[in-house]
Amino acid sequence: MSTFDFALKRTFDIFVSLIGIAVLFPLIIICWIIAAIETRSNGFFIHERIGRHGHVIKVYKIKTMYPSNGKRSPIASNNAASITRSGAFFRKYKLDELPQLFNVLSGSMSIVGPRPDVPDYADQLEGGDRIILRLRPGITGPASIKYKAEEELLSASEDPVLYNDTVIWPDKVRINKEYYNRYSFVADIKYIIQTFLK
């Protein structure tokens, strides 16, 4: 990616996030209220992920699980029993991701890019794979689109962690490297359209 590519991508992110927040803010508040009532806690879930250049960022989502005193598994299917009724609906239609428009506006995320990883996974990136960390993590992207049914795939596996670590995660790394090396603004537009159509 060139300096111009990064500048164009950032300009687009600001434009889209501003419009998205202006239009969807009432929906975000409604989802937050529903999540707060059902979980009896803050309807927003703030978690640490790895962002651009390996820096830790705080990512915002609508809370979709009941509060837990224990450490959550990074593998979504392992937490299925903790998902609220509204949370299942929010996840199905990706409504829990809407607060990330604020992450995009602040510059910690992008509309399109690799999904932000937990430190345990991002720390495993070595050599040429670390090129992914030059990108801001995205709300959607080619890997997210391919693995839209990731939770179902993991749930169907005998060992979700092993399947994620040996099949899904390495493939996501490959896809995200290709996204960086073959980046085009037109491709970003296509990924956004595919996100809504699939």
pLDDT digits (tens, 9 = 90+) for 20-34: 999 999 999 999 999
Domain, as residue range, for 106: 3-197
Number of structural domains (the chain) is: 1
User: What does the alpha-carbon distance between residue 194 and residue 49 come to, in Å, rounded to a whole number?
Assistant: 25
**Burial (CB count <10 Å: 0-12, 13-18, 19+), residue 163:** middle
pLDDT digits (tens, 9 = 90+) for 35-47: 999 999 999 999 9
pLDDT of residue 124: 87
Q: Which of 70, 139, 77 is nearest to 102 (CA)?
A: 139
